[in-house]
Amino acid sequence: MKDNEKIMYLLGVYLNNNPSIRFTQALFNLGITEFADGKNPELKEYLLRNNYNDSDSNVVGRIKRNG
């Protein structure tokens, strides 16, 4: 299975196991979307980290750590 397929699969499993979670909240909970300053997001006015260059394998790793 390709990493992008793993991301979709793991996200689907998470959402099925947590039906009350909103989609965008799942993205944060699994580490797909992150704040620029994860420890103090308010210091950067809750700016989101640019994850454009993140590899799919890095995203899969974050999902496995956080999910």
Full-model pTM: 0.83
57-to-7, 15, 16, 27, 48 alpha-carbon distances in Å = 9, 20, 22, 16, 20
Mean pLDDT of the chain: 94
* pLDDT confidence of residue 34: 93
Averaged over 9-24, what is the pLDDT?
97
- Per-residue pLDDT, averaged over 32-60, amounts to 92
Domain ranges of the chain: 3-66
Least confident of 7-11, 13-17, 63-67: 63-67
Per-residue pLDDT band for 1 (boundaries 50, 70, 90) equals: confident
DSSP annotation string for 13-43? HHHHH-TTS-HHHHHHHTTSS-BSSSS-GGG
What band does 15 get if pLDDT is binned at 50, 70 and 90?
A: very high
